[in-house]
Amino acid sequence: MQMTLADGTLVHLNAGTTLEYPVVFSRKDRRVKLTGEALFEVAHNAKHPFIVETFATDLQVLGTNSM
């Protein structure tokens, strides 16, 4: 499944994966919660880091693509 978030980030979700995200991101950061596997093509915004929360850790995306 493929989806585009409000900031323009493209997300490719693997089967059985869930992604929780706000309709509008906060002023501080762009934070999503991932259960499963996904590929993110993150829209660049140096002032608002993109953070993926998982059961094990939080991942701050520094480049444009992250798994």
The domains of the chain are located at 2-66
* CATH annotation of 2-66: 2.60.120.1440
Q: CB neighbours (10 Å) of residue 56? A: 6
List 66's β-bridge partners, or say none: 40
Mean pLDDT to the nearest integer, 25-32: 94
Q: Is 64's pLDDT higher than 70?
A: no
| pLDDT score recorded for residue 63 | 66
The mean pLDDT of the chain is: 92
Determine the pLDDT at residue 62. 75
Q: Give the C-alpha separation, 3 to 9, whole Å.
A: 8
pLDDT in tens, 51-63: 999 999 999 987 6
